[in-house]
A and B are shown apart, each in its own frame.
Chain A
Amino acid sequence: MTSTALKEPVRETSPGAAREPRRRTGRIRRVSLPYLLLLPALLLELLVHLVPMAIGIVMSFKQLTQFYIRDWGTAPWNGFDNYKVSVDFDAPVGKALLQSFGITVGFTLLSVGLCWLIGTAAAVYMQGTFRGRGLLRALFLVPYALPVYAAVITWVFMFQHDNGLVNHVLHDQLHLTDKPSFWLIGDNSFYALLTVSVWKGWPFAFLIVTAGLQNIPRELYEAAALDGAGMWQQIRRITLPSLRPVNQVLILVLFLWTFNDFNTPYVLFGKAAPEAADLISVHIYQSSFVAWNFGTGSAMSVLLLLFLLVVTGGYLLLTSRGRKASHA
């Protein structure tokens, strides 16, 4: 006790004075080091995300057709023409974009809602202990782990008109339809896309909600049980409200991923998506790479970005305020 008290001031003064010049170079390194460590990540983000984004915005003001692709800098400026074309809802291009946008919004809301519902229900049910739980958990993660194209191509096979499983079951075995339906063209394609999207998306909700459940203190349940609350009441009064902060992030992430999803519709339908399932990503891809009009495609992308920014900002503002209010 006494010896440490004696030593303390000695250690404080002598090495400190001796280290003075070294400390300054140390400070310079300390200041620049974090930036050095961040540099590779920063450069890559700039090259692949931020610069392209800026170029995309520039491109959206240019008349960029296939004639100028070799040297895009020479493409003539055309002001807001690309935007005017994109949002002129009376003309075919704008009309198609608006329709694609509406379909994407509807599809996203349905898909996110179902993914969240199934994921939450599964997570709550999987909380207890019962036989086969571990196996079931591994099985539930398979859709998430499978490469998108392998999973979706299997669904393409199942949705085939002549040799698919879906028509075999619905028509041949259950006799629910008069004749085999087309699933990958026409109006049905919307439901086909929704099914695949939910199949692929719900395990992520399941994962996140499961983790959220583990953070709810056991005492809450025990106290509720002592007060006579049944299982269902506990779920409604404790589990679901406690999941709010987790849900705030989960639903936003699901929304953005589903809204921007390109892989699923692209593998499901190929380059030409049916009108009923014409999601915005594929639509923009088609307008740019198939119609070879990069200017209009860029303008559409920028509009999409603006929409996502507004929705995300509004969502965060709204849900955070709600959270604060409920805390107060």
Chain B
Amino acid sequence: MRDLSLAPPRTSPMAPPRSFVWSRRVFLTLLAGFVLLPVYVMISSSLKPLADVTGKFRWLPSELTIRPYIDIWSTVPLAKYFMNSLIVAGAATVCSVVIAVFAAYAVSRYDFRGKRVFTVTVLSTQMLPGILFLLPLFLIYVNIGNATGIALFGSRGGLILTYLTFSLPFSIWMLIGYFDSVPRDLDEAALVDGCGPFGALFRIVVPAAIPGIVAVAVYAFMTAWGEVLFASVMTNDNTRTLAVGLQGYSTLYDVYWNQIMAASLVVSVPVVAGFLLLQRYLVAGLTAGAVK
């Protein structure tokens, strides 16, 4: 391995000229700095005492403290917001994945009238501005609540319902790609062997498309975990999610930046860790459609 890299053949496209290597070094270093800067600020500030973040900015903490990580739980009811976010994002993810699996299976394996209309309509809802249906949805939920007593507005249920449709179009699209790549012979053989269509789906197609399903789940979870607009309108004190709850660290008198940074880090860890662990799947899924 080392010998090869020491003496690359001259004509190989793998031997980049010096100018390329240098420009690459400069560009990627600058870019890494740009990307890292907020990450560094987040981590370092979360370990600072309050005086360090209210006065002039300091690159290094005057003393290292884990105090902010203890205080974040009592300054605002962070644990409650965390639970709310977890419930909402978790439920939205499960529902979204199940529904997307059924829909993608139908599109991938059956020919039916209106197939194209369905895929185009579903995909194009992805491009609509959220603000467009925020107001009507707000009214629909309020009116459903008034008429039937089912509280959608202000409840976790309403938020789950909303978020799962946000990730649905993209999830269906990604899964169609994955299901298409599972050879049809496999599930047709299962059908011949007496499995029903659902047997074929759950015994053959789904297991073969696990990477795609993981990707869709990560995507759906990230979408629900990070949404701000609907969370800020459709939640109340009891159902508030992290997206809105984090704003509670600024009081009239003080902004607890060290705690905000600590809380931001704490709420980011689950999604960033999950994303980086499963990125291979997600990247393949995200890009499959665009490249096709």
Contacts and interface: CB of A to CB of B under 8 A. Distances in A.
A57 to B, nearest CB: 9
B290 A297 contact: no
B182 interface: no
Contacts of A250: 290
B257 A199 contact: no
Given A45-B121, A48-B165, A246-B290, A163 B57 contact: yes
Contact of A49 (B28, B55, B105, B125): B125
Given A122-B28, A147-B267, A226-B11, A294 B135 contact: yes
Interface stretch (B60-68, B96-104, B208-216): B96-104
Interface in B9-68: 11-14, 16-17, 19-20, 23-24, 27-28, 31-32, 34-39, 41-42, 45, 53-57
Contacts of A33: 106, 110, 197
A56 interface: yes
A167 B37 CA distance: 14
A53 B132 contact: yes
Contacts of B24: 125, 128, 130
A266 B165 CA distance: 22
B290 A301 contact: no
B136 A53 contact: yes
Interface in B240-292: 242-243, 246, 257, 260-261, 264-265, 267-268, 271-272, 275-276, 279, 283-284, 286-291
Contacts of B115: 34
Interface size class of A (residues with CB under 8 A): 35 or more
A37 B98 CA distance: 11
A267 B131 contact: no
Contact of A281 (B42, B131, B226): B131
Interface centre among B24, B45, B265, B286 (most CB of A within 10 A): B24
Interface in A134-149: 136, 138-149
B137 interface: yes
B286 A207 contact: yes
Interface of A is mostly: helix
Contacts of B233: 289
Interface in A141-197: 141-151, 153-155, 157-158, 160, 162-165, 167-168, 172
A39 B246 CA distance: 37
Contacts of A77: none
Given A141-B275, A163-B55, A150 B267 contact: yes
B129 A301 contact: yes
A272 interface: no
B22 to A, nearest CB: 11
Given A34-B110, A234-B13, A145 B272 contact: yes
Contact of A147 (B13, B165, B168, B226): B226
Contacts of B291: 208, 211-212, 215, 246
Contact of A118 (B31, B53, B164): B31
A130 B28 CA distance: 12
Contacts of B146: 70
A52 to B, nearest CB: 4
A284 B131 contact: yes
Contacts of A70: 146
A72 interface: yes
B246 A153 contact: yes
Interface in B90-138: 99-100, 102-103, 105-107, 110, 112, 115, 118, 121-122, 125, 127-137
Interface in B197-213: 197
Nearest to A58: B136
B112 A139 contact: no
B165 A49 contact: yes
Contacts of B38: 151, 154-155, 158, 199
A51 interface: yes
Contact of A150 (B130, B232, B268): B268
Given A33-B197, A59-B139, A302-B132, 20 more contacts: A33-B110, A34-B115, A37-B103, A40-B103, A41-B100, A45-B165, A48-B165, A52-B132, A55-B136, A136-B32, A149-B246, A150-B42, A232-B19, A260-B129, A263-B227, A280-B129, A285-B134, A288-B135, A289-B135, A312-B127
Interface of A: 30-31, 33-35, 37-38, 40-42, 44-45, 47-53, 55-56, 59, 69-70, 72, 118, 121-122, 125-126, 128-130, 136, 138-151, 153-155, 157-158, 160, 162-165, 167-168, 172, 199, 207-208, 210-212, 215, 218, 221-222, 224-226, 230-232, 234, 246, 249-250, 253, 256, 259-260, 262-263, 266-267, 280-281, 284-285, 288-289, 294, 297-298, 301-302, 304-305, 308, 312
